Chain A
Amino acid sequence: MKKESTAVAPLTVSGITVAYQRKAVVEDVSFTLPEGKLVALIGPNGAGKSTLLKAVLGLVPSISGSVAIYGDTYKKMRSRVGYVPQRESVDWDFPTDALDVVMMGRYGHLGWIKRPGRKEKDLAMGTLDKVGMADFARRQISQLSGGQQQRVFLARALVQEADLYFMDEPFAGVDAATEKAIIALLGELKRAGKTVLVVHHDLSTVEEYFDHVLLLNKKLIAAGPVETTFTPELLHETYGGKLAIVSSNGREALVKQ
């Protein structure tokens, strides 16, 4: 692990506001991510979770606010950031195979002219193996299941060897095997001291998978450790009336309506 990174927070967002055609989708959001934690970004549909992520990465313009990554601009720290977009964001009929997609994760390191070679191929192959996809390396990507495609995307982010990861709904519509693979990976990233921010949908698994939560509904409702922040009161505030809390087995369970 790099020493200088322990001093500054991996991500500090200050007063970010994003608007699509004059309608604010994300309003004045500020937070700081603690180093080496798995953080869930949760909130109802249309709360601006993906938009916030994209604004931090500069993929959509923000009308105000600033972002610091390890205390510096995103532009300078880009190589320390890995991004896993939503699976639907690309055309899976593109003529390429799993290994090739993973190698794209190295393009940022290669600079302008250098082409991916032996080293990139080996790195990509090793990472595919980590996500349990080594046997599918040469498979055309449209012939992979949804879960397998998600694992290819994860591998592509891992091969970037970043310190801070953003994942946009990696658990959406995946099979049980993929879910397990993703959890194992998140655990491994955490042990390696990496910080991961995950847009997450399934409230029932938040406590099990994550250390910290950010509750978002256009504005940031709360941010903090799961134990103190993932509470029925704050969730009610985030989801409004769309949430029912059912008590089962003497333990509270959350049900989205």
Chain B
Amino acid sequence: MMDFWIILTAVLVASACSILGCFLILRRMALVGDAISHAVLPGIAIAFLMSGTRDSMWMLLGATAFGLLTVFLIQTLQTSGLQSDASIGIVFTALFAVGVLLISLNAQHIDLDLDCVLFGEIAYVPWDTWTLGGTDMGPRAVWMLGITLTVILLLLGLFYKQFKICAFDPAMAVACGIPVLLFHYLLMGMVSMTAVSSFESVGAILVVGMLIIPAATAYLLTNRLGVMIGLSVAVGIVSAVAGYLISYALDASIAGCIVSVAGILFILALILAPKNGLIARFARRRNIAQVV
């Protein structure tokens, strides 16, 4: 049963991250995903301090608010003339620092370990259960991730065309009367929710890997957005399951193994991709050379 909960958690993290990662990559916002995943920390800490519990709803709300604040601050700095990479660097490190400070100042009130914040500990997920009216409802992380994934599937299912055109051609989207800013913040809100609910399982650093690597792998393999999202989820889930089995065999960090497997799958795609892969490119060049 322990194994089941851990694998389920990993699969949920992978699915949520892999779907959103596609849109982040296509909008060239991979680093914003990175920023959000760190900057939600003060939100989590404040939610802890205010509610005094590890109540998931408070954490989701607090951290999502901070995620959106991050995006807003980054954009404000950018429009005031600062380079975009510098804006991202300033905002997320500053907010992350506030989070670290809050946690270390209130160490006795917050049972959040800083190591756990950075790297996560998915192995503890099955023990941290949610009890409702005396009944054990299963791990809290699974519930949070389940809610997050449902929100993602619902919003993307309903507004797929809007998210797509906002990613491809925002100017055209505005001209069509689509509220681009609303969909921008919806996407960022979903990334924030995902970052928070994945936090305890894979940590602030590895969640970025789950956001970016499966999506980047899928990007190499297809020319259609729908297929890209499907492949990305497949890569994410394979990484989650294979990563868990490998970590079991090696007795190593689960999250570390999952992201490593994702990295290996990416390298395979880079070499073997039918059109853009290194081998395909080499073969093409040789064909041209022979013709010439």
Contacts and interface: CB of A to CB of B under 8 A. Distances in A.
Interface of A: 21, 54, 57-59, 75, 78-79, 81, 83, 85, 89-91, 94-97, 100-101, 104, 107-108, 110, 112-113, 115-116, 140, 156
A96 B224 contact: yes
A57 B170 CA distance: 13
B26 A91 contact: yes
Contact of A90 (B160, B168, B228): B168
Nearest to B226: A95
B105 interface: no
Given A90-B169, A95-B225, A96-B164, 10 more contacts: A58-B174, A85-B172, A90-B168, A95-B219, A95-B223, A95-B224, A95-B228, A96-B225, A104-B164, A113-B159
A21 B80 CA distance: 9
Overall SS of chain B's interface: helix
Contacts, number: 76
23 contacts: A54-B171, A57-B174, A81-B175, A83-B175, A85-B171, A85-B172, A91-B26, A91-B28, A95-B223, A95-B225, A95-B228, A96-B224, A97-B224, A100-B224, A101-B168, A104-B172, A104-B176, A108-B177, A108-B178, A110-B161, A112-B159, A115-B161, A156-B172
Contact of B160 (A79, A91, A115): A115
Given A95-B26, A110-B161, A115-B161, A78 B169 contact: no
Kindly name the residue among A57, A101, A104 whose own CB sees the greatest number of chain B CB atoms within 10 A.
A104
Contacts of B81: 21
Interface in B222-271: 222-225, 227-228
B161 A96 contact: no
Interface residues of B, number: 28
The 3 closest A-B pairs by CB, nearest first: A108-B176, A140-B223, A83-B175
Contacts of B158: 113
A140 B228 CA distance: 13
Given A104-B165, A104-B169, A104-B172, A94 B177 contact: no
Contacts of B169: 85, 89-90, 104
B167 interface: yes
B130 to A, nearest CB: 33
Contacts of B159: 112-113
A83 B172 contact: yes
Contact of B223 (A57, A58, A78, A97): A97
A57 B177 CA distance: 10
A34 to B, nearest CB: 23
